[in-house]
A and B are shown apart, each in its own frame.
Chain A
Amino acid sequence: GAVVSQHPSRVICKSGTSVKIECRSLDFQATTMFWYRQFPKKSLMLMATSNEGSKATYEQGVEKDKFLINHASLTLSTLTVTSAHPEDSSFYICSARQGTMNTEAFFGQGTRLTVV
């Protein structure tokens, strides 16, 4: 089956610093990747959609200068949380899809970000 790997699984950073989360598709080429944020006991909230080689499309209310998304290759997308603050602490999950919008997207294992 298709495998999507996120790194790191957990990260603690100081307030004001930036942190980068990687999302890799290990055995397929991901033309589209999605980034989600999940608060405790809540559903997944889509933050942005990125297509390889293009600028990400952000959902309404998501600050694109705060959450920088890069999808420079068909196997790697990164989410950088810039100038992180405690309210950015959350569980961030990526998913990756190969091909058209009708194909299945596979999820990474998530990254727990804690900003102290």
Chain B
Amino acid sequence: QQQVKQSPQSLIVQKGGISIINCAYENTAFDYFPWYQQFPGKGPALLIAIRPDVSEKKEGRFTISFNKSAKQFSLHIMDSQPGDSATYFCAARGSGNTGKLIFGQGTTLQVKP
């Protein structure tokens, strides 16, 4: 119940295209869903996050879509750029577990010029 399942494992997109990464969870106690971007040899950086009381959040080219009934959420990267090439992790956090994050398996995105 503590798992967050992320797909796909890897993704190749042409420059200007839309990158879509999906995550699913089971624990309904999760109440915060962030996405992190990680470049090789670096720590993850918060990209965008959403709470389950909204269905969508947009920040620049990055959008989170959230489907509470399906217990799924996804990251959309519009107008993908080569600089977006990185590993992306979804995560979930529940108020009842000291606020620790449960991470998805990660998606390696390659944006071809």
One of B12-20, B43-51, B69-77 at the interface:
B43-51
Q: Place the interface of chain B in its size category.
A: 20 to 34
Q: Are A102 and B43 in contact, CB atoms less than 8 angstroms apart?
A: no
Residue in chain B with minimal CB distance to A57: B98
Query: Which chain B residues numbered 75 to 90 have a C-beta less than 8 Å away from chain A?
Result: 89
Is A32 at the interface (CB under 8 A from chain B)?
yes
Q: Are B99 and A110 in contact, CB atoms less than 8 angstroms apart?
A: no
Is B25 at the interface (CB under 8 A from chain A)?
no
Residue in chain A with minimal CB distance to B89: A43
Q: Are B45 and A43 in contact, CB atoms less than 8 angstroms apart?
A: no
Q: Are B46 and A104 in contact, CB atoms less than 8 angstroms apart?
A: yes
Q: Are A43 and B106 in contact, CB atoms less than 8 angstroms apart?
A: yes
Return B55 CB to nearest CB of chain A, in Å: 21
Known: A43-B89, A43-B106, A102-B32. A110 touches B43 (CB 8 A): yes
Is A75 at the interface (CB under 8 A from chain B)?
no
Return A29 CB to nearest CB of chain B, in Å: 16
Q: Are B43 and A43 in contact, CB atoms less than 8 angstroms apart?
A: no
